[in-house]
Amino acid sequence: MKKIFTGKNPEENFGKLEKILPRIINKLSKKVVGVISPVPICFSGFSDPNCDIMSILFPASGIIRSASLVLENKPNATTVEIIIMTKLHTTTEEIKISGVSSFINPNKHVDQGDILTVRLNSVTEENYGKIWMSLLWIPDISQAELKEQLITNLEEII
């Protein structure tokens, strides 16, 4: 094994160490992680039984990660239809609402140009009052804008 410190005294050894350390530090790998945060899509309106309460056209491919639905008046027996119309076919998923607030975890992939429609299907002509709905949509990584930064610039920002 080769000796690193071959100086005659501690000052010479520290001098050599000062030259070696910057070279070692530059060779260490540095990892940078980017985060693509979900895009919140929010809507509010008034209920109309068996009518669409929301329609969204997606401008890019991505995933609908989660959704929340709040009804002003508690429903007795109702379902929410989530309809996704694609270029090739239409899929429908029915979700039963058990109270004023409902959390949906669809994890549905959507492509650019897909349309998502939400419809309340009521057994009665019940008025649910105001309806609030929000989605978290995450665009595909291919849709993200790439920014290149030198590691030294990122360290300065942090």
pLDDT tens per residue across span 79-119: 777 777 777 778 877 777 766 667 777 788 888 999 888 87
Q: What residues contact 117, with CB distance under 8 A and at least 6 apart?
A: 52, 54, 55, 56, 81, 82, 83, 84, 85
Q: 39-141: which CATH number, 3.40.50.620, 3.30.9.90, 2.40.110.10, 2.60.120.40? A: 2.60.120.40
Cite the beta strand spans of 1-147 per DSSP E: 39-46, 52-57, 62-71, 78-85, 90-97, 101-104, 108-110, 115-122, 130-139
Query: 7 pLDDT exceeds 80?
Result: no
What confidence category does residue 125 fall into, taking pLDDT thresholds of 50, 70 and 90?
A: low
> Is the pLDDT confidence value at 17 over 60?
yes
Element (H, E) at 155: helix 151-157
Averaged pLDDT score across all residues of the chain:
75
Strand order in the sheet with 115-122: 52-57, 115-122, 78-85, 90-97
Query: Among 6-10, 49-53, 84-88, where is mean pLDDT lowest?
Result: 49-53
* Residue type, position 45, single letter: G
pLDDT at 74: 67
- Between 147 and 17, where is the model more confident? 17
Do the Cβ atoms of 107 and 63 come closer than 8 Å? yes
Q: What are φ and ψ of residue 156, in 5° steps?
A: -70, -35
Q: Which residue has the higher pLDDT, 38 or 2?
A: 38
pTM, full prediction:
0.61
> Where exactly are the structural domains of the chain?
39-141
| pLDDT of 149 above 60 | no
Residue 109 forms beta bridges with which residues? 63
